[in-house]
Structure 1
Amino acid sequence: MFQVDLSKNRIQKLEERRFSDLNLREREHLQEWLAGQPDALGEELLIIQKEFDGFADTRERLDLLALDKDGQLVVIENKLDDSGRDVTWQALKYTAYVSGLTKTQIIDIYQQYLDRYCGGGNAAAQICEFLDVEELGEVILNPGNDQRLIFIAANFRKEVTSTVLWLREHRIDARCFKVVPYVFGEELFVDIQPVIPTPEAADFMIGMAEKETEAKTVQGVQRRSHKLRLEFWTQALDALRARGLSRYNNISPTKDHWLSSGTGVSGVVYNLIYSKDEARVELSIQKADKAENKWLFDELESKRDEIEKEFGAELNWKRMGEKKSSRIEYAKPFDGFNRENWPEMIEWLGQYIAKLDGALGDQLKRLNQSLKSGENLV
């Protein structure tokens, strides 16, 4: 790893160090870094417990327990300068232990984590938000035997890498990340890189897994809620197109509770939301860069009075500072699972998505020009 000195147009190599030389410890340092920034492992993960010891008839503890975006449990084992020989056996035991956890138990484990480390919160609601679902009844947590393993260390012994490769050959999602500390003067840097699988191989395998999941979904019997959504969006799209809302001309009905359309700003979309309890229109600001998302939201909120006057009602402004994305919403309660209410819901959605676009469209065009010219975040 190198530092770039633009003034001299030179690079200078950073000094690679050992964790032990820097008096850095596994639990107090590396584990806390990952718990606070789990996307350092290349994906969105929700840490639901650390130092988890909820195993029957054993006092063993796993380092970090997480959920991925598919509701799978992820066992994360951290080592520092050396992986040791037995880390895979240790992690496999933990994975076997957690394979039997039920949805109720997982929610309870996360609730304990929130109460102890995060000052409280609603575990079920936060899991729903992370998985992007309206209700936990729509998903299965910890399904089957597809639990995942992640190993983290500065160096991996051959016994470990060989075992991880063997596990992957047998369709067990095990991964290794190399973490190396560097120093430059008084500054400390940490480089975290995937070593098994390589990023290119991971992309291919994820694509194949998604294809297999899609095939199984098509062949399976859809749940009632999925059927309702597909039927609802089919009717809604016909009505929206009849209203002249051309943004929906090339959009197909879906089993999801939302329907998205572009705004002209990359990573910023309008959403129609259909749920059991309400209909909602929203602007979702979900660019890859969190700072850009918050800048866009703040710029729009600075015009709040003007926007709400144009819209004709007060909007719900959700900056969500701890999250990458932000939203601006407007909702109305409905019994969404009663088909008799659908015409009114669809009429409401069409009316208010047009109003939302009317209130925000010009503002978004202006801000998009600032983004393209590089004037943002100043």
Structure 2
Amino acid sequence: MKSTSLFAPLNLGKQQLSNRVVMAPMTRTRTSAGDVPNELMAKYYGQRATAGLIISEATDVAPHSKGYLWTPGIYADEQVQGWKLITRAVHAQGGKIFSQIWHVGRMSHTSLMPDGQQPWGVTDEQAIGSDVFAHGSDGKLTFVRASQPRQISTDEIGTLLEDFRRAFQNVAEAGFDGIELHAANGYLFEQFMNATLNTRTDDYGGQTLENRTRFLLEVVDIATEVLGADRIGIRLSPFGHYNSIPDDPHGEETFFHLITELNRRGIAYLHLLYQLLPSGNMEQVTKFEETNLPEAFVSKLRAEFDGAIIWCGSFTKESAEQALATGNVDLIAFGRPFVGNPDLVARFKNNWPLVVADRSAYYTRDGETGFTDFTNFDPLVAETAH
């Protein structure tokens, strides 16, 4: 019988999580020069370590994987040392933290790329209508239209695989408990998997199931060699159109082929966007669409995948427990509620009020403001205030 409580423990691979509340990956743009994680970020993650699992903000595997300013990397020694501050802070509070690893593919801008080169695209098709976080023409931080990409060669895909291998080795060195591959939201992995967008004609082309999923599965196999399958999670966004991903008539077929292969490899979990995102970017999303993943789809996934399943997308405590009661999901990820509520688990458990953080502080460079200056709820202070 599946537990319906957010506060029940769960075995994830060989690791035990203290509850079913996951802190979702959220870009916060607080790194130091060189995309190096720092003490301020360690404080931020440490404050939130009562989550059953923290999934870090998206982390670049190489300089050419970058699509947003001030996002952390894990390809340089200084970055690894910075991440050690964070994993130690989380572990000191008894928490678990996975590193979310990504490559944005075409979702970048020439100003973010080494030597101003074009973004690395699966094809040369531009993400019309989607933006990335960079310096505008006036020098201010803002969202700018993604640049025209160039199609990377088959040989460069081999280079990418080695970039991921180095990243996984660095993840282990930094002390993370595992990784989550960001294969959702229109970034590189999903660009390969989309049969409409992927018009390549090599072994990674979109004509067959095997070719569309080849790159992701090769990366999973490398991660398994370095870390072990039980320390691997994958984030996916079936039926999504975020970052200008087009309709794909083969999307569900590709998804379940991938699930069969991932299940055979024994990875720890799948992390799904349960409520679908529109085609724009996160800064344009004030709420998720009302469209959820179809019930037949999630039931089939539950039957075909043996690992844990995470859902995310505008959940409340009440809707999260309703979701757990279906038996189709094991953990619920919360993003924005963790911004203003470092003690979110305790607030849920005790039915304490939640703080709604001001969105204007999500991506600031103002030190602790809007980042680590939120406090835990104190019932004695609240009682005195009344």
Q: Which has the higher contact order (CA 8 A, sep 6+)?
A: 2
The structure richer in strand per residue is 1
Q: So what's the TM-score if we normalise by structure 1?
A: 0.28
The structure richer in helix per residue is 1
Radius of gyration: which is bigger? 1
Q: So what's the TM-score if we normalise by structure 2?
A: 0.28
